[in-house]
Structure 1
Amino acid sequence: MKRFLNSVIIIFIMYFQSGWSQETLIIEDFKPSSINQPDRQFPQVNSQRRVRASIAAPNANKVQLDIGGVKYDMRKDANGVWTGETNPQDEGFHYYQLNIDGASVPDPGSLYFYGAGRIGSGIEIQANDQEFYALKKVPHGLVSENIYFSKLTNSFRRCFIYTPPGYNENTKTSYPVLYLQHGSFEDETGWSSQGRANLILDNLIASKQATPMIIVMDNGYAYKPQNNESEDKKESQQSIFEDVLLTEVIPMIDAKFRTIPNREHRAIAGLSMGANQTMRIMMNNLDTFSYYGGFSGTANYPSTEPIDAATFLEGKYKDGNVLNKKIKLFWLGLGTKEPNPFPKSVGAFRTLLEQQGIKYNYYESPETAHEWLTWRRCLYQFASELF
């Protein structure tokens, strides 16, 4: 027995002296992700928040799991099935893909989401506060697809509309509206899919923490029509999304849905690129909106330089007293782990607001970066203060 204990002690000493840590040990309690394709066992997540993926690719020479900007080598077994794990990931939703012999492809085991400029895979890492966006036994609203023809872009476009629980039953009730925008390389599906905006509002309304509201989620990419238009050319064009929203979308929504069509009952918000867009739209149209929410971004994105109130956005922030009377809620949110330039650009903008005496609310999402859990939390906090 003594000899056995001595052997165990020697093994542990060698283990720690080797430079390893207990973090390198993988706990084998993996479970299928909550957003897998039906009946698919992979990808999986364990209690360490590691992701494990598996795919049959018998003729491949190298397969990697690509998540969070890091590629993890996968192992091939005798049957040609590749399996691999990641380091622990942050809580929340993350895009990922598989790289097979240099070609990046979605994982056939996961549901697909549009993000990072492509259709790809997604994984949910269980969050400690996930109850606020969980699917629960509460009254649920409806997310509907609304297709329309835009004369300004000379193209068919679409937006998704969230109507709150009871909308179809309470036919004499009209509702305030939140216009909610996605980020760069995402589209109008983002907020109701990976963002879970409808579930967040369902839960808030059920607990009487938010006013029932309509949410409109449109595509922030809108350009004047041009001949022989390429995707690269589109990126260099000047956006006309503000015109599309003001002259086409809002009148259409007010005509098709039971809205309260005035500035006192209209809000606008967005994440990252969408925060930039919506802040500019808000400040150009204070007769249209009275509530603003900027998640991980502002109109100075991505600049980190000090802001001159006399010139910034044509001097629209010069008079804090006027803005405090016009804007009912000016709200900003940011993750505590966001990389620069986001903390610096938002910080520079907050300095401007404070110098001008402009009232605003600020929220920090703990331990999240430029990712969907940050923005889910922001929407949760912001929506509870609207209307």
Structure 2
Amino acid sequence: MNKRGFFGYATKGAWIVMVAVMLQSCGFVKDKFGGKNSKGGSKGGKKGAKQEVGVRNGEVIAAGRKDYKQDTPYGMVLIPSGSFMMGQADEDVAATQVNFNRRVTITSFYMDDTEITNHEYRQFVTALMTDSLSVLGEEEIMAKYHPDTTVWRKDFTYHNGDPMTEYYFSHPAFDTYPVVGVSWKAARYFSTWRSNLYNDYRSKEGKYSSPKFRLPTEAEWEWAARGGRASAKYPWGNPYVANGKGCFLANFKPQRGNYDADGYPYTAPANAYNANDYGLYNMAGNVAEWTLDAFADNATVVNWDMNPMNDNPDEPRKIIRGGSWKDVAYFLETGTRSWEYEDNKRAFIGFRCVVENLAGRAATARGGRKR
């Protein structure tokens, strides 16, 4: 091919590209994602013609529905997406060998900034007694969903738990303290009730439904507890349980059983002590927390590395995390795993909820199609 022929083809190609761009800008070439200047959009098609959602001029378009914005539920904070080395953050002094380190990725979600309190859980019990009494019956509600207040006596031998049994759940002095004596199944039922309550309100307001409340997975819980600190032994970041002034940073069992040394002999208010870098309170100590996962010795090995979860329904042992007011510092570590039977109710186990962040599942700040 001679130079004249080559430049002739090049010039012709350039003109074709220029014409295509002009047609696109004028709305004659359809934008797949339904831009406002696309054919059949706000400047195209018969004026006043009714168009079906997702259909334009008889053709399916890729444009999404507008005006969706996920609201932050009351009392929750946004936990960002990220990747971290999940597992033991320090020496496995108990030689459990059930938490081998591996890298996992977690997508963004919302999490309660505190454990569910007595006052919050009492709204749930009251609603059941009011709205579901004819369906469930008072006996079932009290047996399955009402906190077992006798755990303060049953969980500890030769212990005067009568005052806590009588007052902890019902008295206003403990309204902002974490609810205890609740089984894993009851915590999940609370999450379902909370989801229905929230989405009923959103429906009345003409809003899209929200993802449902649920318990966090074990991986989500650990990612949130670390607060963005890659190798944090405790949620506050440093490897010590007291600050430079000697003040303890959580509610646990320090000094070989000096329960009062941290300021609270039993549980503490759900927002006591300082929050971690994600704004979460008491991710170590106070009460251990139910997670969604079933327990397995090799779970960290066999679970997938993207949003891992062991949802074995045949395993009655469920993971609890964070340690409690009656535990030594080892159980407060971000990488320490423990478990309890799903039907058991304890004076040292509570919970908090999470909600999916759909925007976090759709794209991250570093990639994805711009909308």
- Sort the TM-score into its range (normalised by shorter chain): under 0.3
- Which structure has greater strand proportion? 1
Which is higher, the Rg of structure 1 or of structure 2?
Answer: 2
Greater relative CO, 1 or 2 (CA 8 Å, sep 6+): 2
